[in-house]
Amino acid sequence: MSPSKIRHLSLSEEIYSRLMRLILDNKYPDGYRMREEKLCAELGVSRTPLREAMIRLDREGILERVPRYGCIIRRLPPSEIAELLECRKMLECLTLREYFNNIDLEAVKSLQLRFEEAIKSGDDELRIEILNTDEALHGLIVSACSNRFLAKQLKDIQMRCRPYRVLRCAEAGDIPSIISERRNILDSVLAAKKEDAVKCMEAHFDASLSYYKADDGSLSS
């Protein structure tokens, strides 16, 4: 308990966090095969903690472990991104509905203020602020969820969506509709209109979904 006693994490944990961050930030190309020895050299650890980290990341869907082959980083094809987002939409809207009254309205209020402020600023600034707003809003929903099991599942799937979220925003051209999507959600929540908020959230997800559903070429000849 003494402040000087630094509780340093195990190497496994540290490597897990570092790899998680690297992967979620798209530092590795699609299909990248992670060679254990190579990664060990880069990260400065032996294979044991690295493998332990990889097992955890695999269980969380962050990477894919193939027996007798190794770990590969695989970006989901559009159809599977859509599937992932559909799942997140269901979970997140469920949570929003069930735990609507737990939402920290003060936090939403300040979020709204900051968002409205950003809308007045430049385009690039706004794009970044949209990402921040999204992250904060979805985080507030998780925070509102007092069921820890559901909260964890929601958190996990939000994390898995992260690699695709950035791209989605960068490619989206229609700024006004993007703004109103968020604005409607914030307004409904602050007005304590639960079903409206859920509907807006569904629309919000559907907007993202339309990109991936449209792009899905897996079944078209």
Partner DNA sequence: GTTTTGCATATTGTATACAATACATCATAA
Partner DNA sequence: TTATGATGTATTGTATACAATATGCAAAAC
> Site residues (CB under 7 A) for DNA?
8, 10-12, 33-37, 45-49, 51-52, 65, 67-71
CA distance 50 to 57: 11
Least distance in angstroms from the C-beta of 210 to a second copy: 17
Task: Name the binder of 37 from a second copy, DNA, none, CB < 5-8 A by kind.
Answer: DNA
Could you say which DSSP state residue 44 is in? T
Interface with a second copy, residue 165, by CB under 8 A: no
Q: Per CB under 8 A, which region of 30-38, 47-55, 134-142, 190-198 contacts a second copy? A: 47-55
Task: Name the binder of 56 from a second copy, DNA, none, CB < 5-8 A by kind.
Answer: a second copy
**Binder among 31, 44, 67, 173 for a second copy (CB under 8 A):** 67
11-24 vs 47-59: helix axis angle to the nearest 10?
50
Interface with a second copy, residue 142, by CB under 8 A: no
Least distance in angstroms from the C-beta of 88 to a second copy: 8
Least distance in angstroms from the C-beta of 73 to a second copy: 18
Residue type, 129: E
Least distance in angstroms from the C-beta of 127 to DNA: 38
How far does Cα 154 stand from its chain's mean position? 10
Count the neighbouring beta carbons within 10 Å of the beta carbon of residue 137: 21
Tokens of 131: 């990402």
Least distance in angstroms from the C-beta of 23 to DNA: 16
C-alpha distance from residue 72 to each of 109, 136, 179, 218 (Å): 42, 30, 36, 21
Tokens of 102: 């737990």
Interface with a second copy, residue 51, by CB under 8 A: yes
Which conformational region is residue 61 in: left (phi greater than 0), alpha (psi within -120 to 50 degrees), or beta? left
Phi, then psi, of 70 in degrees rounded to 5:
135, -160
CA distance 192 to 188: 6
C-alpha distance from residue 109 to each of 47, 100, 144, 176, 211 (Å): 48, 15, 15, 21, 30
Binding track, positions 72-111, relative to a second copy; x by CB under 8 A = -----------xx-xx--xx--x---x-------------
The residues binding a second copy (CB under 8 A) are 10, 13, 48, 51-52, 55-56, 59-60, 67, 83-84, 86-87, 90-91, 94, 98, 147-150, 153, 157
